[in-house]
Amino acid sequence: MKIVVVFDSKTGSTEKMAHAIAKGAQNSGAEVTVKRAEKVVNKDLQEADGIIMGSPTYYGQMSGKLKQAIDDSVELHTKLTGKVGAAFTSSGGAASGAETTLLSILQAMLVHGMIIQGNAAGSHYGAAVKGAPQPEDLKVCEELGAKVATLINQLKR
């Protein structure tokens, strides 16, 4: 089972989240690659069973670098169908647009026909952190990575 974690990060907060998500997925048996948005290529997405994307929240939207990676994935339209997806974001404060950022990432995944891993008990649309991630935030990130790995395993059975 292969998972790629794609992220953009300016201050390091989203990058810390990406590595915590990778740790959770690895602890659940996944082979994980962590890549910056500007370094990801379509082959990375196509070869993965799961794709987890994260960005800082900028005015309620994902960063331009992550959006560019998603725009470039148009060449894979219909080829990501059935893969598991999830999203994460870091923001500067409460009511800063974290949920709309997560939803914009998930919307692109749904257009690709991906299966989305949500969370009924907490941050429903993905992992969201206000400011620098604290230990409890990183635990939520690890749990997200583990949930994606678990869902992939369930679908493969």
- DSSP string covering the chain, please? -EEEEEE--SSSHHHHHHHHHHHHHHHTT-EEEEEEGGG--HHHHHH-SEEEEEEE-BTTB--HHHHHHHHHGGGGTTTSTT-EEEEEEEESSTTSSHHHHHHHHHHHHHHTTPEE---SSS-TTSEEEESSPPHHHHHHHHHHHHHHHHHHHHHH-
Distances (CA, A) of 96 to 7, 9, 92, 99: 19, 17, 7, 9
Phi/psi of residue 129, each to 5°? -125, 140
What's the pLDDT tens digit per position in 84-114? 999 999 998 777 899 999 999 999 999 999 9
Q: Is the pLDDT of residue 115 over 80?
A: yes
Q: Which amino acid is at 62?
A: M
CATH number 3.40.50.360 given to 2-156: yes
Output the pLDDT for position 93: 79
Distance (Å, whole) CA 150 – CA 156: 10
What's the pLDDT tens digit per position in 19-29? 999 999 999 99
pLDDT band with cut points at 50, 70 and 90 for residue 122: confident
Instruction: Say if CB 83 and CB 49 are below 8 A apart.
Output: yes
CA dihedral 80, 106, 116, 83 (to 10 degrees): 10
Output the pLDDT for position 96: 85
pLDDT band with cut points at 50, 70 and 90 for residue 6: very high
Task: Supply the mean pLDDT for the chain.
Answer: 96
Q: Where are the domains of the chain?
A: 2-156
